[in-house]
């Protein structure tokens, strides 16, 4: 017999931990290969983890609601056979993949080496980083009750301690204590943010802190495109059993513009700019609970318009049914958010880190417009739409950002309306 170590897998770009929602097995249970063993949640997606081997659950290292760093051992599985060389090789390979150079750089020297252990506690790199950032000293660390396995400190323990530590002292408090900037008024309803909303909130705050945002705006005349879609939408549905919206056309135009201006398809790592070869387009998608998720179309340039429509519809449907997998939301290099679905005409979107630009498309509105003709200027009713691009001014200057945005507009205004299906 030998033991197989099932590690917490990497759950997407920038995700360094996940919370255990539910265990489907307990110690002593038999499990088959590909059978679901645990459900976990990150700030981006909830997903089930399957066992890659068959065997008997020997040890579970984390309880429900525990926050587990990527790469930690979730569970030990006793399997048949005395030879474990292949399993050991697999485990080492996974561990090496999970411990990227960036993660090592971010966590090294957060606390001195002799403080990796405080008393009998081993501190994970994430916890050590938080303790350093929050200036929590050794005496305070010893006073914090750990809720992880064997009393290990978790991210949630640190956040709960810091929240209590920072609460202001007051003589009289309302039913729910508010921050010093808030005043409770009669009839107020106080709603706690759910886990996903808290993480989205932090992601947005971090983006504004990290990247100096600049937003450029253009107005595009989409009259020809609107007329084309009106002509072909029923034909398209009958042929492919798919509804075609304007969004696939927007994606196609963005992909073409990125090929013209590849420096927009990038991210920043300290003083280094990473130019992405793959064009992976994230689509900001609203969920029924009011939260937001960004499924990603990988290698979007390889699809024609029919392909983009099918991939897009499938991803959005699975997002709204909470059926996305970690790979569906990872690896994005550029994001589009469609404000037009809410009837908004313009917006200033926040960059989806670690990307350097995001495009917002507004509602298509009929409005009077001056047209130049061979017989002079005339006023005509045209279908117009604002496009706004927010970009990271550390690496995307106004000329590049403005030129890239204008190129997207040009592709939309000169869309090939002779396409048939």
> How many Å is the maximal CA-CA distance in the chain?
89
Q: Single out the catalytic residue among 29, 65, 269, 397.
A: 397
Sheet of strand 73-79: strand arrangement: 2-7, 73-79, 55-60, 30-31
Query: What SS3 string covers the chain?
Result: CEEEEEECCCCCCCCCEEEEEEECCCCCCEECCCCEEEEEECCCCEEEEECCCCEEEEEECCCCCCEEECCCEEEEEEECCCCCHHHHHHHHHHHHHHCCHHHHHHHCCCCCHHHCEECCEECCHHHHHHHHHCCCCHHHHHHCCCCCHHHCCCHHHHHHHHHHHHCCCCCCCCCCCCCCCCCCCCCCCCCCCCHHHHHHHHHHHHHHHHCCEEEEEEEEECHHHHHHHHHHHHHHHHHHCCCCCCHHHHHHHHHHHHHHCHHHCEEEECCEEEECCCCCEEECEECCCCCEECCEECCHHHCCHHHHHHHHHHHHHHHHCCCCCHHHHCCCCEEEEEHHHHCCCCCCCCCCCCECEEEEECCCEEEEEEEEECCEEEEEEEEEEEEEEEEECCCCCHHHHHHHHHHHHHHHHCCCCCCCC
Query: Following CA atoms 189, 194, 200, 205 in sequence, which dihedral angle do they give, to the nearest 10 degrees?
Result: 50
Q: Single out the catalytic residue among 203, 327, 393, 410.
A: 393
**Distance between start and end Cα atoms, the chain:** 60
393 is catalytic: yes
Of 60, 57, 6, nearest to 32 by C-alpha is 57
Across the strands, what pairs with 268? 273
R_g of the chain computed on alpha carbons = 26
Cα–chain-centroid distance for residue 97?
A: 20
Of 9, 159, 121, 127, nearest to 70 by C-alpha is 9
397 is catalytic: yes
Residues carrying an active site annotation: 393, 397
């Amino acid at each position: 017999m030998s033991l197989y170590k099932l590690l917490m897998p990497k759950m997407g770009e920038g995700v360094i931990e996940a919370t255990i929602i539910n265990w489907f097995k307990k110690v002593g249970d038999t499990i088959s290969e590909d059978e679901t063993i645990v459900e976990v949640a990150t700030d981006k997606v909830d997903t089930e983890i399957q066992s890659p081997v068959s065997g008997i659950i020997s040890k579970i290292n984390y309880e429900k609601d525990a926050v587990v760093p990527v790469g930690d051992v979730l569970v030990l599985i006793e399997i048949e056979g005395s030879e474990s060389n292949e399993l050991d090789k697999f485990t080492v390979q996974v561990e090496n993949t999970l411990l990227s150079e960036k993660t090592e750089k971010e966590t090294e020297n957060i606390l001195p080496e002799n403080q990796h252990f405080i008393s009998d506690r081993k501190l994970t790199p994430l916890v050590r980083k938080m303790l350093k950032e929050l200036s929590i000293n050794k005496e305070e660390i010893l006073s914090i009750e750990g809720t992880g396995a064997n009393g290990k400190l978790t991210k949630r323990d640190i956040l709960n301690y810091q929240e209590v530590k920072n609460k202001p002292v007051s003589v009289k408090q309302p039913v729910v204590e508010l921050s010093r900037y808030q005043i409770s008024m009669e009839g107020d309803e106080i709603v706690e943010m759910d886990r996903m909303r808290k993480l989205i909130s932090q992601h947005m705050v971090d983006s504004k802190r990290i990247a100096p945002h600049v937003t450029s705006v253009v107005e595009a005349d989409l009259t020809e495109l609107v007329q084309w879609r009106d002509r072909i939408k029923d034909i398209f549905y009958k042929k492919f059993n798919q509804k075609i919206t304007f969004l696939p056309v927007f994606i196609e135009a963005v992909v073409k513009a990125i090929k013209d201006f590849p420096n927009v398809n990038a991210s920043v790592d300290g003083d280094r700019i990473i130019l992405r070869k793959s064009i992976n387009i994230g689509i900001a998608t609203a969920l029924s609970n009011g939260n937001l998720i960004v499924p990603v179309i990988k290698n979007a340039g390889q699809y024609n318009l029919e392909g983009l429509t099918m991939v897009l519809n499938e991803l959005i449907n699975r997002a709204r049914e909470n059926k996305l997998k970690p790979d569906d939301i990872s690896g994005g290099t550029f994001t589009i958010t469609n404000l037009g679905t809410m009837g908004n005409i313009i917006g200033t979107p926040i960059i989806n880190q670690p990307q350097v630009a995001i495009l917002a498309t507004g509602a298509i509105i009929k409005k009077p417009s001056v047209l130049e003709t061979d017989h002079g200027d005339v006023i005509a009713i045209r279908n117009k739409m604002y496009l706004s691009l927010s970009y990271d001014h550390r690496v995307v200057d106004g000329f590049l950002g403005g030129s890239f945005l204008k190129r997207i507009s040009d592709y939309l205004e000169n869309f090939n309306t002779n396409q048939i299906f």
